[in-house]
Structure 1
Amino acid sequence: MTRTTLEASFLLGHKLVTAERLIQWGARPPVVSRLCQLTPKQSVRLFKWVSGCSPKQGMLPYDDNWIVRSATNNIHASLFLGIIQDLKHLLSISVISADQFLVAYALYASLMAKNKPELRQAAASSGHSPILDINRAWYLIGQFAAGELIFKHCDTCRARYLGLHQRHISFSQCPICEVWTDRSGRRRWTSLKSKHKRNA
């Protein structure tokens, strides 16, 4: 076996191991294909082997406005993409590899597992899962790279949070400070309408 063949075998093996880890975290075949440079057929076959079942049908989470659906969504997206940006800055890179994506997502999941009081409360009151889905996390990276998302800093709590680029200011408020709780216990973004309801 030549050196070139050995290197190719090692590279393929590394891709398969990375793909397996992605699937174990819940990544669907299209995400695995893009991150690991595998064919769709290879990704589906590997998914079935790792998970023991066929992959979920339907589209991936392509909701461009997901981060402004709720303050909780924004908190989770901001934490994850903040980790991604810090990792890119630390490594002086412009594009995240599959391995680096896994490191960032595992770190995010670890932070969620620690049950920070404010994050636990936000997740419980909204009824959302405390963990950002890995497929949506991958899509958020693409949104950020395309310039659709931008980071902002809150002057009050100093938090770094995400806003939609070229949107009205109500879509880029701090998800920690600019929220209020309605009668059902759900956290809502502050707006002129919500302020009126809160003060009524």
Structure 2
Amino acid sequence: MREKSLISEAKQIQLATDLIKLGARLQVLEANTELSRERLVRLYKEIKGISPPKGMLPYSEDWFTSWQPNVHSSLFINIYNFIIKHTNVHTIDAIIKSYKLYLEHIEINSLQRVLSLTRAWTLVRFLESRVLRVIPCTKCKGNFIVHSLEIHTNHVCGLCNIPSRAGKTKKKVA
């Protein structure tokens, strides 16, 4: 029987800690660390002071193509793709670094955070499985998330062609 490395275990705990602090759900922790569910739950409670939320992860790929989520998801995935292409950082570490940069951009520009870490992780999985893809806008040339199976000749993004009801939420009306 092989003995577990303390350094390896410490790295796993640090990764889980980073993910929890960024708001990752338990399923994301389980998929990206080698720690047991029980240890992850204890760690989550220690860091957040509450039990991890229960229930299924958000699954719909349609969420990523609606107006405001598409803008934020596209921003995140462009950061992620830049990191993957120009650094030696990959997998969950690239998601963490990209998400932190996304959060910095949101804070600097006083924007509302729309994309959670769990949704960012899900987005990367949708792109890897080719459920979604990134294509350029024909007007601004920016890269945006679209459904893979739809026809996208002459795609115009939600920033170049803002929907009439964009940003008019019940919260803003109240």
Which TM-score band (shorter chain)? Answer: 0.7 to 0.9
- Percent of residue pairs identical: 26
Contact in 1 for aligned 2:95/2:120 (Cα 8 Å): no
Give the aligned partner of residue 86 of structure 1. 82
Cα distance in 1 for partners of 2:33, 2:167 equals: 42
Contact in 1 for aligned 2:16/2:29 (Cα 8 Å): yes
Shift of 1:72: 1.0
Deviations 1:2-53 (A, max 9, x none): xx96x81111101101211110111111111112222222211211111111
- Which one of the candidate residues 25, 36, 51 is aligned to 2:48? 51
Contact in 2 for aligned 1:112/1:131 (Cα 8 Å): no
Q: AA paired with 2:100?
A: A
Shift of 1:168: 4.9
- Which one of the candidate residues 61, 67, 77 is aligned to 1:64? 61
- Which one of the candidate residues 99, 108, 133 is aligned to 1:150? 133
Contact in 2 for aligned 1:35/1:97 (Cα 8 Å): no
Greater than 4 Å deviation, 4+ residue runs: none
Shift of 1:91: 2.9
Q: AA paired with 1:144?
A: L
Give the aligned partner of residue 94 of structure 2. 100
Give the aligned partner of residue 74 of structure 1. 70
Q: 1:17 to 1:92 in 2, by over 3 A?
A: closer
Q: Kindly report the root-mean-square deviation, in angstroms, between the aligned alpha carbons of the 2 structures.
A: 2.4
TM-score (norm 2): 0.85
Contact in 1 for aligned 2:69/2:114 (Cα 8 Å): no
| Structure 1: unaligned runs, 5 residues or longer | 121-128, 188-200
Q: 1:72 to 1:149 in 2, by over 3 A?
A: same
Give the aligned partner of residue 186 of structure 1. 168
Q: AA paired with 2:95?
A: F
Where in structure 2 are the equivalents of 1:108-187 lying within 5 Å? Answer: 108-115=102-109, 120=111, 129-169=112-152, 173-182=156-165, 186=168
Count of aligned positions: 167
Give the aligned partner of residue 16 of structure 1. 13
Q: Look up the SS of the partner of 1:178 in the other structure.
A: coil
Q: Look up the SS of the partner of 1:62 in the other structure.
A: coil
**1:33 to 2:27 alignment:** no
Give the aligned partner of residue 172 of structure 2. none
Deviations 1:163-196 (A, max 9, x none): 11012559x64121122324x9639xxxxxxxxx
Rg larger in structure? 1
